[in-house]
Structures are given as structure tokens and as C-alpha cells.
Structure 1
Amino acid sequence: MQLYTDAATEPATKQSAAGILLIDNGHQQQFKQILPMTDNHTAEFLAAIAGFKNLIDHYGPEQAVFFYTDSQIVAESVSKGYSKSFAVELQTLLHLQDQCQVVITQWIPESQNHGAHQLAQQGLHLAH
């Protein structure tokens, strides 16, 4: 199971949206979701949380997951199991990940996260 997440935030309005791409044996499921108004870093955590909620809702817990994010702060926080600034969001994310059989988190450059990025941009336009 592969999970790609991304967030888009308009700095002026703080309107945010998540893009979520789930790939299971070559079958894609795409989700876009409006997020609470916030900054981009928080939105990246919220997008990851929404991604794992969608995964668990649609496929159940106990999945083996490759989780891809272009947010270095999300990837590093998950890896360390610690975040000073995003402790609440990280704990929520880790709790969801704990329901999975195994989660391998990998940071990828934005150029490799086009699917989730496009969905987040589309979600942002839905918010208007």
C-alpha cells in the first residue's frame, strides 16, 4: 500500500486543503479535503492525518504502508517521534500509524509528489 499526501495553503487567507493518493496493487484512489485555516506546516501534518484516516477507513487497519511526503518537517518528526512545535498533530499521526502493521515513511521531493499536489490544489479551489 502506498500513501502520498500533500497540503496546499494560500498564505494570505490561510485557506488549506489536503491531497491524498492511495495506491493498492496499482489501483489508485484520490481524495481532496478542505482543511481548517492554518499555516502550511500544520496543514502538512493535517494532510498526513487525513491520509491515514482515509487509508484505515477504506482498507482497514493492519496494512503495510509506504508513506510518502514532500514535507521534511513531517518526515523528520515521524522519524524522531518528536516535534516541539507540532506535538499534538504528530501524536495524532503516530497513533494512526500505530494501527498499521508497518509504516515506512519517506521524504520525497515535491517533483515526485505531483498526484497528491494536484489534488491539494484542486481542494484549495473547492474552498473558494
Structure 2
Amino acid sequence: MIKLYTDAATKGNPGPSSAGVLIISQGKQQQFSFALSPSSNHEAEFNAAIMGWKKVAELFGTKETILFFSDSKIVMDSIAKKYSKSYPHLLKKLLKLQKNYSLVINRWIPEKENHGAHTLALQKLHQL
């Protein structure tokens, strides 16, 4: 089982954006941060999730059970409803990545429980 945490940071709305990805597998953490194209905060949250799922696929393949955590209500609500009025193209990419796995559990968490991914996103944003 793999735990995936993602978060985004944006300076301005829209503005420079970054993503933080924290992956926990077998008690070991792997941390990643990515610069994103300038975007709105919501768009950056979708892109952070997409980057996280791509990283999981790259590192572990698709045979694992994934627990996906995000503090973005719009991302988690969109996944649950399989609908996004404003970001349908990003939701489609995210759902396509998730459907490669036999078991995915998506869970919204409060911001205070997403500290690792949040810190990674902020560190990258400060480098931009």
C-alpha cells in the first residue's frame, strides 16, 4: 500500500505555481517538488495531483493499492463526482491515471494534516 499526498502553492491567483508530492511506502518517504505553469490555485491543485500520480506510476507501477490524500476540496469533490465544470480536462487526466489501479482510496484531509506536501510546494515556489 502506498500513501500519496499532494499539494500546490501559488503566488497570486493566477500566478507562479508549484507542486509538492510526498509518497510513503513501506515506512519510507520520498519527497518531490515541481514547478508548474502559472495558474490559478485550483488548477495548480489538479496539476499537483496529476504530478503525484505520474510519480507513483513511474516509481511503483500500477499493481499497488493507493491511498491518495489532498487538502483540496475541489479536487476531491471532482474525483468523487467524476465531474468538474471549470477543469474537465485536468479531471479527465487525473481519473485516467487513477483507473490504472485496482484499488484507489481518495481522502480529503485538513490542511494541517498535509504539512509534508505543503512544505515541499512552498519550498519550490520560493525558488521560482
TM-score when normalising by structure 2: 0.96
Aligned with 2:43: secondary structure?
helix
Measure how far apart 1:34 and its partner are.
0.2
Percent identical residues = 48
The match for 1:28 is: 29
**Between Structure 1 and Structure 2, how many residues are aligned?**
127
The match for 1:71 is: 72
Tell me the alpha carbon deviations over residues 46-96 of structure 1, each in whole angstroms, 9 at most, x when there is no partner: 000000000000111122100000000000000111111110000000000
The verdict on how the C-alpha distance between 1:60 and 1:15 changes in structure 2, with shifts beyond 3 A counting, is same
Contact 2:22 2:117 in 1 (8 A): yes
Are 2:127 and 1:123 equivalent residues in the alignment? no
For 1:40 and 1:100, how far apart are their aligned partners in 2?
27
Cα RMSD, aligned residues only: 1.0
Letter aligned with residue 16 of structure 1: S
For 2:85 and 2:62, how far apart are their aligned partners in 1?
28
For 1:21 and 1:66, how far apart are their aligned partners in 2?
12
Letter aligned with residue 60 of structure 2: Y
Gaps of 5+ in 1: none
The match for 2:17 is: 16
Contact 2:13 2:39 in 1 (8 A): no
The verdict on how the C-alpha distance between 1:60 and 1:79 changes in structure 2, with shifts beyond 3 A counting, is same
Aligned with 1:37: secondary structure?
strand
Gaps of 5+ in 2: none
For 2:78 and 2:13, how far apart are their aligned partners in 1?
26
